[in-house]
Amino acid sequence: MDYFFQQLINGLTLGGVYALVALGYTMVYGIIQLINFAHGEIFAAGGYLGVILLSYMASQGLMDSHPWFGLAFALILAMGYCAMLAMAVEKVAYKPLRQSSRLSVLLSALGMSIFLQNGLMLTQGVYDKAYPTEFTHGGFEWLGVRVSFMQIGILLVTTLLLVLLNTLVFRTRIGKAMRATAQDKVMSALVGIHSDKVISTTFAIGAALAAAAGIMVGLYYGSVRYDMGFVPGIKAFAAAVLGGIGNITGAMIGGLIIGMVEILAAAYIPAGGEYKDVFAFVILIGVLYFMPTGIMGENVDDTRV
């Protein structure tokens, strides 16, 4: 039973991270019906920026006294950087294609993803970059379950960001504008909502969440790699679809489920560890086959799916 709770905690940590990435997919898809393939690369860029900033601060001796402050600072800077990156990607590759076919935008997104991934490789090298280790040790044991401080940190940051996002989307003007644009772009433009601005903001918010997830994954596994964005990106997309694409609460639930399934499958199914990446895809296909609108999704009209 201890083993089960241990896996549950691990799954919760991983699932929270997937949920953060999934939010970026689901919000963008909700507004402009585009699978933003480049989102996974923005997640990777966030992880890299975390490494860059943390090692710089460590070398300057800024991390000695208050390492967690340093981490928070890096987190915020990386989120800002990725928001800028995502806005640039949107302006260059998606905005000029608003009126063209869905396939064109999708391919442009795919091209952008390959471009960013190789940009990361060229600037940062092909090898893994290690995160500083001072955050990885330390923790406590409670009823036989080992919880590291980092897992608690990840859970706390994830929860905080999710709460912030919920407030932003459901309690502020810009959130209202986003929901209106997602529902009907033409109508919301007619009542004076600047849809380009809303779309830019959506990309920026999604990217900031992905950047935070990138740093946390980097801390969790101890290193980042230039192609680390692809598989988590697809898993997060699976999470978004599972929860019902376009639905924010759904993306959170979907992320948690995918993370849990992955960890539990690796723990309990023989050879599950090697095949752990398969489960997200199997869930994705299963969901789309049996309930195409996901867990929380509404019935969207046929042309949208």
Partner 1 sequence: MTRGSRKSWQYFGLGLAWFYLLLWPLLGIRDGELHFADAFAVWLRVAVGATICFVLYRLGKAGRLDGVLSPLAAARDAVGDALGRAPRWMLLAPVIVFALAYPMLTNRYAQDVAINVLVYICLGLGLNVVVGLCGLLDLGYIAFYGVGAYTYALLSVHYSVPFWVCLPICAIFAAVAGCFIGYPTLRMRGDYLAIVTLGFGEIVRIVINNWMALTGGPNGILGIKSPGIYIPHFVDGSFSFEYLLLRKLEYLYYIILALAAFTIVAVHRINFSRIGRAFEAIREDETAAELMGVDTFRFKLLAYALGAVFGGLAGAFFAARMRFVSPESFTFIESAMVLAMVVLGGMGSIPGVILGALALVALPEAFREFELYRMLAFGGAMAVMMLVRPAGLWPAARMGKRSDDTE
263 touching partner 1, by CB under 8 A = no
Say which amino acid occupies 63. Answer: M
Candidate residues 12, 20, 28, 85; the one interacting with partner 1 per rule CB under 8 A: 85
Residues 283-302 that bind partner 1 (CB under 8 A): 284-285, 288-289, 292, 302
Residue 266 to residue 234: CA distance in whole angstroms: 18
At its nearest, how many Å lie between partner 1 and the CB of residue 8? Answer: 25
Candidate residues 130, 187, 282, 291; the one interacting with partner 1 per rule CB under 8 A: 282
Our CB check for partner 1 shows the closer of 99 and 143 to be 99
Residue 284 to residue 238: CA distance in whole angstroms: 5
114 touching partner 1, by CB under 8 A = yes
DSSP state, residue 99: T
Number of residues that bind partner 1 (CB under 8 A): 66
Residue 99 to residue 167: CA distance in whole angstroms: 32
106 touching partner 1, by CB under 8 A = yes
Residues 25-64, mask of contacts with partner 1 (x by CB under 8 A): --------xxx------------xx--xx-xx--xx----
Instruction: Name the segment binding partner 1 (CB under 8 A); options: 140-148, 158-166, 204-212, 236-244.
Output: 236-244
Q: Are 22 and 255 in contact (CB under 8 A)?
A: yes
Our CB check for partner 1 shows the closer of 118 and 159 to be 118
**What residues make contact with partner 1 under the rule CB under 8 A?**
33-35, 48-49, 52-53, 55-56, 59-60, 81, 84-85, 88, 91-93, 96-97, 100-108, 110-120, 122-124, 230-231, 234, 237-238, 241, 271, 274-275, 277-278, 280-282, 284-285, 288-289, 292, 302-305
